[in-house]
Structure 1
Amino acid sequence: MTLSKNKASLLGIGDNVVDFYKDRSEFFPGGNALNVAVLAKRFGLEKAGYIGLVGNDVEGEHVIKSLKAEGIWIDRMRQACGENGKAVVHLDEKGDRVFLGSNKGGIQRQLTLRMEEVDLEAVEEHGCVHTSVFSYLENELPKIRERANAVSFDFSSHLGMDYVKSVAPYITMAFFSGSKLDDQGIDDLIATVAGLGVETVGVTRGSDGAFWQVAGKRYRQGIKPVEVTDTLGAGDSFIAAYISGILMGHSVEESLDEAASFAADTCTRFGAFGHPYKVEEA
């Protein structure tokens, strides 16, 4: 698959895992940077790519197979000897995920990505990059930002301001999970991060929807009611759809509404974007 310069294109760089559903004895490909790339293409972007490290085990091979099936550009993905990132999850009676443990990123954490010139050329070709706190790319962000039109970063629930301040100069969009914050806490977080020069700051809070600020203007987006099967990947779906909508020229309001619908649809099935792998019982 060759690349062509396209402003409506996204490159995920960094974390990937497989989410092993213990009660179902099956795992699904996932991880924030990988999910956002796949889900952005599913939403409607003409092209999306992913650069990351996968293991040479069954889990890593399944991640590669799933990305190929989704039509994701993976020419610069690395495969190394070792375990792929893996998280063990359980779903409660509401369909909310409960993490039971992980191998702490597997080979992706052990080796850590380093951006080579050909990777940075891919950054230029895609234009927009998405990564996360789980990708351990902090040292590479200055190089990425220099070559990208836009860089989005998912902090998840990592709210330590020393860390946020170290990342903020190199990103244009910041996303947070605000499940533990009240309205005032979210307002303070958005104001602080925007004050660091980040144009778009978004905070999702589960069933309470999303709190957003773009270029100084505040927005509020509610959720779309749906019969919930599994909430895993809903936040990544929201981010992917929002970024994609903006890249496709939609307004902030339209992009947030589309993101809410897209996230709700993700909640109706298992896994962030499907592709289950059944694990045979020993």
Structure 2
Amino acid sequence: MRIIGIGDNVVDIYQDRNEMFPGGNALNVAVLAKQSGAESAAYIGIVGTDIEGDHILDSLSKNLVDASHVRRAVGESGKAYVDLNEEGDRIFVKSNKGGVQAKLKLNLTVDDYEYIKSYDVVHTSLYSHLDEELPLLKQYLPVSYDFSNHFSVELLERVCPHIQFAFISGSDLTEVEIEELFLKIHGLGAPFIIITRGSKGVVMSHNNKRYEQGIVEANVIDTLGAGDSFIAGFLTNHFNGFTIEESLIAAAQIAARTCEVNGAFGHGKQLTF
């Protein structure tokens, strides 16, 4: 399968390690899909003209993800600062709100669309600010969208008619709220809904047929990026022809392996001052 991620990128700066790691949902899914068995992967987004932007592009190259359509704009790349809490979990401390990419809209050109349509699926996210492009994107290929845990009814109603795969972070959702979400999103037209719930595993609905998948044991050192790796693993296996059950199991295994490295997929770089 061939996958393209479009939208957000960032460097996650680990203050306790004085180290930065490439990240961002759309970028992570492209890289992790390539690591999970995708034939090819690509990423389109905006990075700054700084050492963080250099590191993001270098990481894409080293992971064999095509970045030929990435834009560079004068300014800071997106930065998120993370630290360890008392339980050893990563917590977000602050960010520069997306840096230069938050100040500029990613406008896809005719040339971009010719390039995009050579892929099997496109993945984007709430943080990618690509919602206006979704009606056109869906005419070319299936769209996967990560709502994180910051979705609203208005966002669901704007996005779901144009996507095939809806991913939601829902560790705090009750069983009733999950069922209400399934009914709402299916009613808006999206056939695949996957809700990740941290240590409680995953619940999924495909055209109102329910599935569950537990977590896979891991030697956890960093949970950052686990959700993105689950998305990448599921999409890669699904488009490679595996059943839903097989794709869910593979995705859980890939997410577990992500928890065993720092950053979403490694490639840390020490910061110098």
TM-score bucket (shorter structure): over 0.9
| 1:163 Cα deviation after fit | 1.0
The residue that corresponds to 1:206 in the other structure is 198
Indicate whether 1:77 and 2:58 are aligned: no
The residue that corresponds to 1:19 in the other structure is 12
Indicate whether 1:277 and 2:244 are aligned: no
Provide the C-alpha distance between the structure 1 equivalents of 2:32 and 2:107, rounded to a whole number of angstroms: 24
| SS in structure 2 of the partner of residue 50 of structure 1 | strand
Provide the C-alpha distance between the structure 1 equivalents of 2:29 and 2:7, rounded to a whole number of angstroms: 11
Provide the C-alpha distance between the structure 2 equivalents of 1:68 and 1:82, rounded to a whole number of angstroms: 21
| SS in structure 1 of the partner of residue 250 of structure 2 | helix
Match of 2:117 among 121, 124, 130: 124
Provide the C-alpha distance between the structure 1 equivalents of 2:179 and 2:221, rounded to a whole number of angstroms: 31
Provide the C-alpha distance between the structure 2 equivalents of 1:55 and 1:101, rounded to a whole number of angstroms: 18
The residue that corresponds to 1:50 in the other structure is 43
Indicate whether 1:192 and 2:184 are aligned: yes
| 1:94 Cα deviation after fit | 4.2
- 2:182–2:208 Cα contact (<8 Å) kept: no
Indicate whether 1:35 and 2:20 are aligned: no
| SS in structure 2 of the partner of residue 254 of structure 1 | helix
Matches within 5 A, 1:72-221: 72-148=65-141, 150-221=142-213
Question: In the superposition, relative to structure 1, how do residues 95 and 268 fare at CA in structure 2: closer, same or farther (>3 Å)?
Answer: farther
| 1:161 Cα deviation after fit | 0.7
| SS in structure 1 of the partner of residue 118 of structure 2 | helix
Alpha-carbon displacement from aligned partner over 1:165-191 (angstroms, at most 9, x marks no partner): 001111111000002211221121112
Alpha-carbon displacement from aligned partner over 1:17-57 (angstroms, at most 9, x marks no partner): 00000110000000000000000000001100000000000
- 1:94–1:228 Cα contact (<8 Å) kept: no
- 2:8–2:45 Cα contact (<8 Å) kept: yes
Alpha-carbon displacement from aligned partner over 1:219-242 (angstroms, at most 9, x marks no partner): 000001112100000000000000
Which structure 1 residue ranges, 4+ long, deviate > 3 Å from structure 2? Answer: none
The residue that corresponds to 2:214 in the other structure is 222
Matches within 5 A, 1:243-254: 243-254=235-246
| SS in structure 1 of the partner of residue 108 of structure 2 | coil
| 1:96 Cα deviation after fit | 2.4
Alpha-carbon displacement from aligned partner over 1:77-135 (angstroms, at most 9, x marks no partner): 10110000010011235442210010111111111201101111122101210000000
- Superposition TM-score, scaled by structure 1 size: 0.95
- 1:13–1:135 Cα contact (<8 Å) kept: yes
- 1:91–1:230 Cα contact (<8 Å) kept: no
| SS in structure 1 of the partner of residue 65 of structure 2 | coil
Match of 2:56 among 63, 66, 91: 63
Gaps of 5+ in 1: 1-7
Q: Percent identity?
A: 48
- Superposition TM-score, scaled by structure 2 size: 0.98
Structure 2 residue identity aligned to 1:221: Q
